Structure 1
Amino acid sequence: MNFCTLFDSNYMSRGVALYRSLEEQADHFHLYMLAFDDNCADVLRKLNLTHATVITLKLFEDEDLLRVKKERSRGEYCWTSTSSLILYCIKTYELTHCTYLDADMYFYQSPRILLDEIPQNCSVLITEHRYTKQYDQSIKSGKYCVQFMYFRNDTNGIKVLNWWRDACIEWCYNRMEDGKFGDQKYLDSWTTQFEGVWELQHLGGGLAPWNCQQYQFSREKNTLIGTEKKTELDFKPVFYHYHGLRFYKKNKSIFADKYYLISIAVRKYFYYPYLKKIAAVEKEIAGVNNNFDPSGRKPYNEYLKELLFNGYVVLVKRNLLKK
């Protein structure tokens, strides 16, 4: 299984934690890591990750990317680069397939479970946000999430990938405009625009703060089990996307954006163990370079402001729910 991801020094603890989760759960995998700064590349090399290849921006960037780089914010340029990274890995390393992973994901089962779902006549896999109703942002952010995307190196797969790259080079910004948003809204039309695009069905792929409210979680004989409340269907979580998790000084963190309510069970089975994994990775990174913060911690006063505002938002929501 071939995977790729991208991150900078401030996100390195998440990216290495992703790698360690693949190491625990996946068989015969390789993760191609695009380092978005020189320090990130240097530290990743020193970690000697057996099943990883470190890619520098100097190797990766081409004329098209460099031309639009100055027009995009750092975040927008990361989005712009996603499709190009998948294509770069397939071409440079002559891969039969490649799956893009967001760096702030963590695996609890082998991703092979998800990839085995793809029919033989399909070349692309995309994953829904599966928004909880009150959090539905499909109109703005899109039906699908650029978090776990598979492309086969065949005619249909490369056709979709080239189209997506060209579209992102032309336009990829953190705003809504003419039915577009970042690199993500482009995916909305793929199932009808192209042949061979498969929409992931497994509920365990794509757990995130915007949909975890739909599920109950428990542990049975050391196995994490999810249950969809609506259907009472059981499933095993494959990965969780820790989008919006922020770290602050004095060992503080905020789990998700203020919009999302995270249950006690989700905190217990996902967030608290993940924070321990991040702490272990931070120690691992400090062993080769302790001159920077690989989790990009923000000042403590920003944590207090976020905490006060988030508490106010939750209070308002609870009052609204009572009406």
Structure 2
Amino acid sequence: MINFCTLFDSNYLTRGLALYESLQKVCPSFHLYVIAFDNKCFQFLKESNFSNLTPISLNEFEDEELLKIKPARPGAEYCWTCTPSVVLYCIRQFNLPFCIYVDADMLFYQNPQIILDELGDKSILLTEHRYTKEYDQCKESGIYCVQFLYFKNNTEGITALTWWRDRCLEWCYARSEDGKFGDQKYLDDWLERFKGVHIMQHEGGGVAPWNVQQFKCTTKNGTIYLTNRKSNIEFPLVFFHFHGLKFFANDVVSYSGTLYELDKEVKEVVFLPYVEALLELERKVKKQGVQFNVNGSKHPSPSSPKIYSTYLKERLMQYKTGRISFRQLMRLKLNKHYHFHKLTSNGKFD
């Protein structure tokens, strides 16, 4: 049995359901614990009575220390603050031998047991960002990504978790300050700070918009494979993190922000099926009577001039910080950084 935990609210409902369904497909024995960050999400999950999924309300989860700092940390900052507390709560409340935190906007394509097999006698597993060079934000955002984190219910695992929770209670904001950023930068020195830490080695885990440029993407018999462009080593995609994917109120979806270059194959093989799955889940829950926003769309998509302006600003920042050369700056490729797609009235792509 592989125990997972995550958190999301009603705006991320379809993403959370897609994560759950992907685990159902590839993981023979799992359980997903969900901290529902609003009542609409909790009631839907509770009434749906999904197998292998336990919804947990904020009333059950939040303790005095979290409630004390909550007013000063709205939105994402409070979610980040809660991350270590989510894992700790699930381990203690359900007496789990271990628990893996996963972001809700992820999808599994292979059984994650292949990653856990790396652990040996280690108690903690971290996932590196593995940034493509021109997108490297390790200094600002951290070496490791809080997207797939394993903690064993033993002295080593709980010691690291409680230390991390204490730090996040003290400070957890969406800005860089004194070597900190959100909940992530706290992980940078864990190889030295704590015992029993393992860094994920399988390149098929932790694939995301900031590193997918390093791989060629193909499919064979329905399985997605990635090939490292430098080593030419091929491996199956285990999980993908759809960070930055956004729905807009004018029936537009953006696969990612303009910063990251995405090639045609990645869009067609990875992003398109994911968005179609989210749209199908939206139609499904609407038929069940759900009337609230389930994909987080709030505002219309930006205009073309605004998109281009944002892209230019991002490229200039990359140049100023030494991530790209002047020659790369002059080689503008907006077509590979434009990830906006219009949906038709029936929720399909144009």
Shorter-chain TM band: over 0.9
Partner of 1:75: 76
Paired with 1:4 and 1:305, the residues of 2 have a C-alpha distance of 40
1:291 positional shift: 1.3
1:279 positional shift: 1.1
Where do 1:115-154 residues align within 5 Å?
115-120=116-121, 122-154=122-154
Q: Using the aligned pairs only, state the percent identity.
A: 45
Q: Is the 8 A contact 1:99 1:149 kept in 2?
A: yes
Partner of 2:264: 264
Counterpart secondary structure, 1:46: helix
Partner of 1:206: 206
Where do 1:4-19 residues align within 5 Å?
4-19=5-20
Q: Is the 8 A contact 1:252 1:303 kept in 2?
A: no
Paired with 1:118 and 1:152, the residues of 2 have a C-alpha distance of 11
Instruction: Show structure 1 runs of 5+ residues with no match.
Output: none
Counterpart secondary structure, 2:7: strand
Counterpart secondary structure, 1:54: strand
1:11 positional shift: 0.9
Paired with 2:246 and 2:280, the residues of 1 have a C-alpha distance of 17
Counterpart secondary structure, 1:206: coil
Paired with 1:200 and 1:182, the residues of 2 have a C-alpha distance of 21
Q: Is the 8 A contact 2:100 2:148 kept in 1?
A: yes
Counterpart secondary structure, 2:243: coil
1:201 positional shift: 0.2
Partner of 2:245: 245
Partner of 2:340: none
1:300 positional shift: 2.4
Between stretches 145-154 and 39-48, larger displacement belongs to 39-48
1:44 positional shift: 1.3
Between stretches 303-312 and 51-60, larger displacement belongs to 303-312
Partner of 1:99: 100
Paired with 2:205 and 2:155, the residues of 1 have a C-alpha distance of 26
> Is 2:60 the partner of 1:50?
no
Partner of 2:24: 23
Paired with 2:92 and 2:311, the residues of 1 have a C-alpha distance of 48
Q: Is the 8 A contact 1:76 1:173 kept in 2?
A: yes
Partner of 2:330: 320
Partner of 1:224: 224
Instruction: Show structure 2 runs of 5+ residues with no match.
Output: 317-323, 333-350
Partner of 2:278: 278
Q: Which amino acid aligns with 1:9?
A: S
Q: Is the 8 A contact 2:252 2:301 kept in 1?
A: no
Which structure 1 residue ranges, 4+ long, deviate > 2 Å from structure 2?
Answer: 287-290, 298-319
Question: Pairwise CA RMSD of aligned residues?
Answer: 1.8
Q: Is the 8 A contact 1:10 1:296 kept in 2?
A: yes
Assess, with a 3 A threshold, how the Cα gap between structure 1 residues 321 and 99 changes in structure 2: closer, same or farther: same
> TM-score scaled by structure 2?
0.88
Partner of 1:66: 67
Partner of 1:40: 41
Between stretches 288-297 and 99-108, larger displacement belongs to 288-297
Q: Is the 8 A contact 1:80 1:168 kept in 2?
A: yes
Paired with 2:303 and 2:90, the residues of 1 have a C-alpha distance of 38
> Is 2:167 the partner of 1:167?
yes
